[in-house]
């Protein structure tokens, strides 16, 4: 980590922004270079191919999510509190890496083997850990008895699209975003009875 040159970081950043706006296939090496005042050919002194840019961006995000998950697992809190921490993790990573996050929702399909399998394996492992926390919560009576796959999917799809919402509400603070999205995903929309 951190041994990337300045130029390479600039290229990854330029690419991520364009991938987000246009998508991987609709973004050309010429566009990525043009944003940095370069010609397309110059990019190849710093990166091996367009494909490798996508791999670095996506596997980098995968690693960050797995690191965050490990911290949550080691926290020894109860499952509902762990769910709370996980939502915080997604919010934090979304605000820190908004462009890279957007690749998770769509452009990962353009990965080629073996990176594609590598990415899917990482994602499956993450989702399994997430699911385990939900199941623990049900067993302890903290979480409603809901179809587990549906609960997982429902949370993750909201969290994955948080970046597009944040792009339209840049004035909102991270802490406010975190509080409100937790209300939606954990407590639900329907009004709860006042406490007895």
Partner DNA sequence: GTCTATAAGTCGATAGAC
Partner DNA sequence: GTCTATCGACTTATAGAC
Answer yes or no whether residue 22 interacts with DNA by CB under 7 A: no
Answer yes or no whether residue 71 interacts with DNA by CB under 7 A: no
Neighbouring residues of 61: CB distance < 8 A, sequence distance ≥ 6 = 93, 97, 100, 101, 103, 104
Answer yes or no whether residue 46 interacts with DNA by CB under 7 A: yes
Q: Would you say 137 and 143 are in contact if contact means Cβ atoms under 8 Å apart?
A: yes
Q: Within 10 Å of residue 83's Cβ, how many Cβ atoms?
A: 24
DSSP state of 147: -
Binding mask 163-182 for DNA (x = CB under 7 A): --------------------
Residue 106 backbone dihedrals phi, psi, to 5 degrees: -145, -50
Out of 4, 42, 118, 164, the residue judged to bind DNA by CB under 7 A? 42
Using the minimum distance from each CB to a second copy, give the nearer residue, 1 or 109.
109
Beta carbon of residue 32, minimum distance to a second copy (angstroms, whole number): 16
Out of 16, 19, 27, 65, the residue judged to bind DNA by CB under 7 A? 27
Answer yes or no whether residue 41 interacts with DNA by CB under 7 A: yes
Two tokens, residue 194: 């006042």
Two tokens, residue 9: 């970081």
Residues that contact a second copy, how many (by CB under 8 A): 50
Token pair 């820190």: residue: 96
Out of 5, 70, 165, 175, the residue judged to bind a second copy by CB under 8 A? 165
Q: Would you say 103 and 57 are in contact if contact means Cβ atoms under 8 Å apart?
A: yes
> What is the contact surface with DNA in residues (CB under 7 A)?
5, 7, 27-31, 33, 37-42, 44-46, 48-51
């Amino acid at each position: 980590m951190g041994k990337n040159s300045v130029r390479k970081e600039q290229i990854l950043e330029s690419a991520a922004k364009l991938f987000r706006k246009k998508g991987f296939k609709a973004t050309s090496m010429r566009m990525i270079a043009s944003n940095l005042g370069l010609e397309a050919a110059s990019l190849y002194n710093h990166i091996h191919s367009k494909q490798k840019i996508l791999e670095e961006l996506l596997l980098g995000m995968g690693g960050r999510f797995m690191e965050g998950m490990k911290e949550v697992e080691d926290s020894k809190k109860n499952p509902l509190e762990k769910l709370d921490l996980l939502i915080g993790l997604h919010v934090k990573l979304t605000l820190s890496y908004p462009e890279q996050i957007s690749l998770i929702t769509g452009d990962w399909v353009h990965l080629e083997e073996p990176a594609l399998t590598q990415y899917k394996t990482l994602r499956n492992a993450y989702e399994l850990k997430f699911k385990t926390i939900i199941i623990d919560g049900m067993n302890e009576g903290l979480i409603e008895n809901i179809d587990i796959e549906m609960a997982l999917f429902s949370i993750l799809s909201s969290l994955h699209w948080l970046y597009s919402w944040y792009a339209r509400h840049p004035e909102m603070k991270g802490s406010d975003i975190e509080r409100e999205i937790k209300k939606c995903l954990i407590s639900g929309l329907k009004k709860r009875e006042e406490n007895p």
